[in-house]
């Protein structure tokens, strides 16, 4: 029997304030837990700015006093407390504290028990971003005086800290169990379907418009995705590619670049495109393809780990091996040329994410984690026994 969680005090460590999928999940989780009657707030490790730096000092104080938001791209409904260094004497007492970014994991693990049960919400194997996806033993840690935030060995050590692991995808749960001997509870984050209403009168263009998210880390496979599109475009004249993301405008490419897209405009962007290309070598989860599927955008993805949660080959998407632009290109061509296939997968993907991903269930799972330490029995345990 799953215990009923009481009124909880929950603090969530905000890694940074920029637009990222991981941040979006944490902010949405905070809002929804608050709506369920819990006291929720964000902690932000932001240093004290000295008064002799007037611009930075003024911005910091205006945010501290609540006159300017720390997060200006999302309607955050919970307070943000600035806690430089996440020191024990500055972090409030709570029932639970959730950390997601590896650089904050040691700080949270060192806090006293009065700060709450400690949860490591693992949205990616972050060591991959520091090694370029190469095995850790093939890379050397920075020498003395090097940048700590670039140290993959230090990142790996955080997965052994005495905190309860919550993972967003089954492959992460398997990794935590096999490599670090850590049990986990799996809670896959949904999207806010209110921001992605059920499509009506979806236009399927011919030739199609393709879409891809631009990222700078090599493990995101952007070069593979562009190459796959260009190979496919040789067989589908008139097909176009758009790239979006904070640094997409700086990317040297002949293709259309959209720059950063605010959450309020994502639905419009997906509806303006027909095929979503997701070429990652390794991916923790993958909110953009889920958002695309919710908007009836057909998905051509790699089998990158996170895609296992929602991209089922020939059922909800077309899936190919990572680092194989030729295979990815073949799937793009199939979606471009076969309108019946594109329509079927677009509808099936849309139906699947709307039926199987729900914030109600995710929030209930988090609540159960906060009160039941017995859930962690192995990899990818379920917090809720009953299906929604």
d(CA 49, CA 308): 44
- The string of pLDDT tens digits covering residues 273-296 is 999 999 999 999 999 999 999 999
d(CA 371, CA 8): 9
Mean pLDDT of the chain: 90
Q: Who contacts 17 (Cβ-Cβ below 8 Å, separation ≥6)?
A: 23, 44, 70, 71, 72
Q: Is 362 left (phi over 0), alpha (psi -120 to 50) or beta?
A: alpha
Nearest to 98 by CA among 27, 33, 174, 10: 10
d(CA 120, CA 27): 16
Give the helix, strand, coil percentages of the chain, each rounded to 5.
Answer: 40, 15, 45
pLDDT for 143 equals: 39
- The string of pLDDT tens digits covering residues 341-388 is 999 999 999 999 999 999 999 999 999 999 999 999 999 999 987 444
The arithmetic mean of pLDDT across residues 9-17, rounded, is 95
- Assess whether pLDDT exceeds 90 at residue 318: yes
d(CA 202, CA 199): 6
In the chain, what are the domains? Answer: 9-190+358-375 (3.40.50.2000), 195-356 (3.40.50.2000)
Report the 10 Å Cβ neighbour count for 59. 13
- The string of pLDDT tens digits covering residues 173-191 is 999 999 999 999 999 999 9
- The string of pLDDT tens digits covering residues 25-52 is 999 999 999 999 999 999 999 877 676 7
Nearest to 277 by CA among 234, 216, 214: 214
> Residue 11 pairs with which residues in a beta bridge?
41, 97
- The string of pLDDT tens digits covering residues 104-113 is 999 999 999 9
d(CA 333, CA 231): 9
Size (the chain), residues:
388
Q: Where are the alpha helices (DSSP H) in the chain?
A: 21-35, 54-64, 102-109, 127-131, 152-158, 170-180, 222-233, 263-271, 287-294, 325-337, 339-356, 359-371
What SS3 state is found at 46? coil
Contacts 24+ apart (CB under 8 A), 130-139: 130/155, 132/217, 132/218, 132/219, 133/218, 133/219, 133/281, 133/282
Report DSSP state, residue 305.
B
Confidence tier at 132 by pLDDT (50, 70, 90): low
d(CA 120, CA 164): 6
Q: Can the peptide bond before residue 160 be classed as cis, meaning omega within 30 degrees of 0?
A: no
Cβ pair 23, 14 in contact under 8 A: yes
The arithmetic mean of pLDDT across residues 241-254, rounded, is 87
Q: Give the chain's end-to-end CA distance (angstroms, integer).
A: 16
The arithmetic mean of pLDDT across residues 134-140, rounded, is 45
CA distances from 339 to 186, 207, 333 (A): 36, 10, 11
Cβ pair 29, 11 in contact under 8 A: no
Q: Which two tokens stand for residue 77?
A: 């409904």
């Amino acid at each position: 029997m799953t215990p009923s969680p009481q009124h909880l005090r929950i603090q969530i460590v905000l890694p940074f304030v920029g637009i990222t999928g991981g941040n979006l999940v944490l902010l949405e989780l905070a809002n929804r837990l608050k709506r369920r009657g819990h006291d929720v707030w964000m902690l932000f490790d932001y240093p004290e700015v000295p008064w002799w730096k007037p611009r930075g000092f003024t911005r910091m104080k205006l945010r501290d006093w609540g006159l300017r938001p720390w997060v200006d791209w999302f309607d955050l409904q919970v307070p943000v407390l600035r806690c430089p260094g996440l020191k024990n004497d500055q972090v409030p007492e709570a029932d639970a504290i959730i950390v997601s970014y590896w650089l904050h994991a040691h700080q949270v693990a060192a806090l006293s028990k009065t700060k709450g049960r400690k949860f490591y919400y693992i949205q990616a194997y972050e060591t991959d971003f520091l090694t370029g996806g190469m095995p850790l033993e093939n890379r050397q840690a920075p020498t003395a005086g090097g940048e700590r935030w670039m140290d993959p060995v230090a990142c790996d050590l955080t997965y052994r800290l005495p905190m309860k692991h919550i993972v967003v995808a089954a492959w992460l749960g398997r990794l935590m169990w096999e490599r670090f001997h850590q049990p986990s509870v799996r809670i896959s984050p949904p999207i806010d379907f209110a921001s992605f209403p059920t499509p009506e009168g979806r236009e399927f263009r011919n030739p199609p418009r393709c879409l891809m998210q631009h990222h700078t880390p090599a493990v995101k496979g952007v070069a593979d995705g562009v190459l796959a599109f260009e190979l496919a475009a040789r067989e589908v004249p008139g097909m176009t590619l758009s790239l979006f993301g904070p640094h997409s405008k700086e990317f040297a490419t002949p293709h259309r670049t959209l720059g950063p897209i605010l959450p309020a405009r994502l639905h419009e962007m997906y509806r303006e495109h027909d095929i979503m290309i997701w070429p990652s070598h390794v991916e923790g989860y993958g909110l953009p393809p889920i958002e695309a599927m919710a908007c009836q955008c057909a998905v051509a993805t790699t089998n990158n780990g996170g895609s296992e949660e929602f991209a089922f080959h020939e059922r909800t998407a077309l899936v190919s091996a990572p680092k194989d632009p030729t295979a990815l290109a073949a799937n793009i061509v199939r979606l471009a040329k076969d309108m019946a296939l594109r329509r079927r997968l677009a509808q099936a993907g849309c139906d699947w994410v709307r039926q199987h991903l729900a914030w109600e269930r995710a929030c209930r799972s988090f609540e159960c984690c906060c009160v039941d330490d017995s859930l962690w029995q192995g990899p990818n345990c379920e917090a809720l026994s009953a299906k929604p």
